[in-house]
Amino acid sequence: MKARRVLVVWCPDWPAVAAAAEARAEVTRAVAVIANNRVIACTAVARAEGIRRGLRKREAQGRCPDLLVAQDDPDRDARLFEPVVTAVDATVPGVEVLRPGMLALSARGAARFFGSEEAAAERLVDAVAAVGVECQIGIADELSTAVFAARRATLVPPGKGAEFLAPMPVSALALEPVLAAPQRAELVDLLHRLGLRRIGDFAALTPAEVSSRFGADAIIAHRCARAVPERPPAARLPAADLTVEHRCDPPIERVDMAAFVGRLLATELHTKLAAAAVACTRLVIHAETEAGDRLSRIWRCAEPLTPDSTADRIRWQLDGWLTRRALDRGRAYRNAQACGTANTTAPETDSPTAEDWDSGPNAAITLLRLEPVEVVSSGALQLGLWGGVGEDEERARRALIRVQSLLGGDSVRVGVLSGGRGPEERITMVTLGDEPVPAADPAQPWPGRLPEPAPALVLTHHPKIRLEAADGTPIWVTDRGLFTADPALLHWGSSSWRLTGWAGPWPLDDHWWAHRFSRGFAARAQVQIHAEDVRRLRALLLLGYNDAWHVEGLYE
């Protein structure tokens, strides 16, 4: 199978180039972009005058009195980069914008169409130059390697990514914001102090050595340094006009009117989606009111929306907005009543305070617009031939979505089985509708993981208890990892229970770099309660830290 290839288009100094274009500055004028009173980007003309990133504004102006200074404006950078994206997409379809000034696409189709990778690169340079912008092209097997190649205008031969990266300084790993997290500079400084001055030196470490000594970002940087396989560019879908809108005449003031309009708009939207052979997984509902308010809410779904589910979300969202409007009117009436200026006719609501609700309109809704902002191929998320979820699960899900529409997108969260050693670590909470992706892979071995069965209830607040021997002596853990005495009594608040058995303790040495416990040492233990002392509770999972025991989980 032929290796995939990635092509990256990089427009150097793009924030400064965009600022110069907006100011209509001459090409010979030095330009610098400032953020927090420091230079974050400058043109080649400015660099020739001694301007560098990180300089203070006053020092930069001192080196070049004719310097054109512009404030950092990401909206400007993105807006002016759109013609470049359009030009590249018209030449080679399937563009992914990495950031304003840099985009990526698959090189295989372009090389096949134009005859070679070199010919494709030349054609793209010409296409970008036609809109008045200079660019550099990089091609490699992996996206991160292609980004480095674009910054050096290099076409890396197949299979030579690690060899190409090896002689570069390790500081290059923190140079490109597309590839580096904000804390990457700290990692680079640490590697430099350890004597790892080149990317090849860092790549020579084994993955086990990196994962055991550094954080998660170091693992990502190490994979980048080794040029291991990554995801290919996510091609931008053709810009089909999938937005639908409806002028509400008369304006919407009641939920039944919202339900009718929602059904109408949902049918129109899904007709367009079907014609484009796509399905929507992320939808924005926009609304405008008589008072000129503009409201919007994003709905995310792990499965493609259907006409019925889209209509439900529109109705629920409008119901939430209109309910807030009714609450505001009711409160205004009560305030006027308290001041003695109210009309004799009271509004139709007497509900709880408006602070408990999401923000909503101050007038009736006059326009509704649906905008799919994330679509997939219509066959990408097909249900199995055996059908979908059961009726009870679907009913519960619809109720949760209803609550989500009233209280906000992050108000409803569901648990996903995750990887980890403790019970809390094995649960990842994700927003309802988002893809259920765990924070860590549960299929990994996870040595030292708490043995099955898992606690029936996990207590995140870790209530404090007292563990004692038969003579009332408090129990802790010795330097050899053993109990100082056999546990016999457990005191939890005003309750005391006899113990008939225990397991552990097991010292915890994972996440040593996170300093989760102020005194460093922590251990887990399981204790069994005497059957006559309690009816349902059978055992406790204890977590000891800061010289005290706490309850982490309950077994029933």
Average pLDDT over residues 78-85: 86
Mean pLDDT lowest for which of 198-212, 322-336, 405-419?
Answer: 322-336
Compute, in degrees rounded to 10, the torsion defined by CA atoms 471, 472, 473, 477. 100
Q: How far apart are CA 341 and CA 318, in angstroms?
A: 31
Compute, in degrees rounded to 10, the torsion defined by CA atoms 157, 162, 167, 168. 90
Residue-averaged pLDDT of the chain = 78
What percent of the chain clears pLDDT 70, i.e. is strictly above it?
Answer: 79
Q: How far apart are CA 346 and CA 348, in angstroms?
A: 7
Average pLDDT over residues 205-231: 84
Please indicate whether residue 183 or residue 345 has the higher confidence score (pLDDT): 183
Summarize pLDDT for 148-200 with one digit per residue, the tens: 999 998 999 988 888 999 999 988 888 887 787 777 888 888 888 888 889 98
Strand blocks (E) in 292-349: 294-300
Long-range contacts formed by 60-63: CB under 8 A, 24+ apart: 60/32
Q: How many residues does the chain have?
A: 556
Q: Which residue, chain included where needed, has tokens 């807030």?
A: 324
pTM score, whole prediction: 0.47
Average pLDDT over residues 332-354: 46
Using only C-alpha atoms, what is the Rg of the chain? 30
pLDDT value of position 358: 38
Answer yes or no: is pLDDT of 137 > 90: yes
Beta-carbon contacts of residue 451 (< 8 Å; ≥ 6 apart): none
Average pLDDT over residues 543-547: 82
CB 451 within 8 A of CB 539: no
pLDDT value of position 34: 92
Q: How far apart are CA 136 and CA 494, in angstroms?
A: 72
pLDDT value of position 381: 46
Please indicate whether residue 220 or residue 447 has the higher confidence score (pLDDT): 220
Give the HSE-up count for residue 202: Cα atoms under 13 Å, Cβ half-sphere: 36
Answer yes or no: is pLDDT of 245 > 80: yes
Tokens of 28: 């010979």
pLDDT value of position 15: 92
- Which residues are 541's β-sheet partners? 526, 553
> Ranked by mean pLDDT, which of 253-257, 333-337, 508-512 comes out on top?
253-257
pLDDT value of position 390: 47
Confidence category of residue 408, pLDDT binned at 50, 70, 90 = low
Summarize pLDDT for 449-495 with one digit per residue, the tens: 777 777 878 887 888 888 888 888 888 888 888 888 888 888 888 88
pLDDT value of position 280: 80
Neighbours of 35 (CB within 10 A): 12
